[in-house]
Amino acid sequence: MDRKFDEFFNQINQQIEPIDYLIEHSKQYGNVDGLKEHIFCPECQLAKLTFVHTGKGFHLRTHLNTKHLEGCYYDFEHIDTKSATEFFKSLNKEQIQSKLASMMRYLLSNKNNISVSNKIDALQNNPLLIEQKEKTNTQIKVRKSLRRQKLTGYIDESIAGDLYIFYGNVKLSVELYTSKNNFQYYKLIIKTKNKQGEWRYRTSLYRGKTKDDIDVDAIYKIVFIGVANFKENNEKTGKYMNCKKLTRYLHFV
Ligand SMILES: [Zn+2]
């Protein structure tokens, strides 16, 4: 079972770092040998992680002889996309907004400043863990985790096709498009900051007739739920992530 980590706890400087930190290090030195004893789970900080580079890209995996703290997000299996979609579709408008707001607090608060008691509280009330009936005809429920993907930094194509909670600190803008049959619609353009400090196109979301009120200079926190694919994008050169968002599942502040 491959659970993806987009960040890790660096035991050397006691900070949560993005996986990009290890990618850069391995490019510079050819390996991460100097760091490999110090890479831990970003949530429970107990389980040791291994950095791997395969043909599919860069990954962090739970080290074979190590365990996550009970209740840690990374201790649960991912829920399948069909069940996750059904779960979200069963929520009403208010439930959706409150769910997205708590996901935002969980994913985008500064984890380096959270006290130990708040960390335990976060582990117990994790909005990314949901209960699922084990089989159709039983009442037995198991907790499973929703997949998550930070919008900033390294993203590879292995996330395609599954339902993810996308999140990050982003810049936004709105563009108006006209289709061939003269239908006009808006897109929300999402930019993330690269390691040179430049804001670059990451993806865009179809907004239909909704024209979001955006300050293009502001930095927003965003959470949305959707499925990505990586097709060639004619408007931009090269392969870009396209996201098909679940209707209404967008929250930014
Ligand atoms: Zn953990």
Distance 42 CA to ligand 1 centre (A): 7
pLDDT tens across 64-95, in order? 889 998 889 999 999 999 999 999 999 998 99
pLDDT tens across 144-178, in order? 999 999 999 888 888 899 999 999 999 999 999 99
Q: Is the pLDDT of residue 235 over 80?
A: no
pLDDT tens across 91-116, in order? 998 999 999 999 999 898 876 666 66
Beta bridge partners of 199: 193
Say how many C-beta atoms besides its own lie within 10 A of residue 141's C-beta: 11
Q: Is the pLDDT of residue 1 over 60?
A: no
Distance 8 CA to ligand 1 centre (A): 10
Distance 199 CA to ligand 1 centre (A): 31
Distance 117 CA to ligand 1 centre (A): 16
Q: Please give the pLDDT value at position 115.
A: 62
Distance 105 CA to ligand 1 centre (A): 19
CB 45 within 8 A of CB 51: no
CB 249 within 8 A of CB 225: yes
Distance 220 CA to ligand 1 centre (A): 28
Beta bridge partners of 250: 224
Average pLDDT score over the chain: 87
Distance 216 CA to ligand 1 centre (A): 36
Distance 123 CA to ligand 1 centre (A): 10
Distance 9 CA to ligand 1 centre (A): 10
Q: Please give the pLDDT value at position 114.
A: 61
In sequence order, what are the residues at sequence separation of 6 or more whose Cβ sits closer than 8 angstroms to the Cβ of residue 182? none
Q: Is the pLDDT of residue 7 over 70?
A: yes
Which residues of the chain form beta strands (DSSP E)? Answer: 7-10, 15-18, 39-40, 49-54, 57-62, 129-133, 141-145, 147-150, 163-178, 184-193, 199-208, 220-229, 242-252
Report the b/e string of 35-48 with b at 16+ CB within 10 A: beebbbbbbbbebb
CB 51 within 8 A of CB 22: yes
Distance 181 CA to ligand 1 centre (A): 51
In sequence order, which ranges of 81-163 are alpha helices (DSSP H)? Answer: 81-89, 93-108, 116-124
Closest CA to 250 of 92, 88, 97: 97
